[in-house]
Amino acid sequence: MKDIYNKVFIDNNNELIDFTNETIRRYGAIKHYNKGEFLFKEGDLPGYLYVVNTGLIKVSQSIGTGSDITFFLKTVNQGIGLSESLLGTKRLRYAQCLLESTVSAVSLVDLLILSRDPRFLHGLLLRVAKSYLQVQSNLAVYTHLSLRLRLAHLLKNMSSPDEHGILRIDVNFSHEELSNFIGSSRQKTTRQLNEWKQQGLITYSRKEILIFDIDALTEQ
């Protein structure tokens, strides 16, 4: 009975988030961004809440040492910019497109109007909760795992299997960007990638990363 309840509860939550996404798409404006363009930068006042329709967008923060740390990689149906929009505070992070992307953007005025619908508001709160849990999970990875395991965890989460069962990342990430994701230096990240490549566990080029044995990468 408990398992049935949990499934119904989770399904209901997912439906509410889907409802919120579709409402934003219905009342929001479609915005197109090229690779490298910013949705917003640190210090900007919040103007819109976004839902990703296509592409890939990173949400990162400068840490004052000439490098950045990336908190989220946002893809289709995921939201961006909710916390500052609800609080009315300046952006603490920036959102930058890693691929050509399209988003639906709803203004803060429209957000207040839409939030009068309890289903829409509930969906927003669920999204905040999911983001909070994701940050907690990322912190656990970054603070307790070695660089090798952090990088393996990142590659696993970013990849998807092709028709041959090989895990593939079709985004042209630089070693600097991968380093920002895991809180490491570019030199250490490059050294680890080269070690895996020499062992035949992965291969990479400017266009893609292929992972042949994810278990070997993630073993303790």
Q: Which CATH number belongs to the domain containing residue 42 in this structure?
A: 2.60.120.10
Same domain flag for 93 and 167: no
pLDDT at residue 53, rounded to an integer: 96
pLDDT at residue 109, rounded to an integer: 92
- Cα(94)–Cα(104) distance, rounded to whole angstroms? 17
Same domain flag for 150 and 137: no
Same domain flag for 104 and 203: no
pLDDT at residue 208, rounded to an integer: 86
Contact 47, 108 (CB under 8 A): yes
Q: Which residues contact 122 (CB under 8 A, 6 or more apart)?
A: 16
Sequence-ordered alpha helix ranges (H) in 88-158: 108-114, 118-144, 147-158
Average confidence score pLDDT of the chain = 86
pLDDT digits (tens, 9 = 90+) for 10-49: 667 888 889 999 999 999 999 999 989 999 999 999 999 9
Q: What is the mean pLDDT of residues 72-91?
A: 90
Domain housing 174: 146-218
In the chain, the percentage of residues whose pLDDT exceeds 70 is 92
What pLDDT band is residue 190 in, cutting at 50, 70 and 90? very high
DSSP bridge partners of 67: none
What pLDDT band is residue 185 in, cutting at 50, 70 and 90? confident
Same domain flag for 138 and 187: no
Q: What is the mean pLDDT of residues 81-96?
A: 91
**Domain end call among 113, 143, 173:** 143
CATH of residue 175 = 1.10.10.10
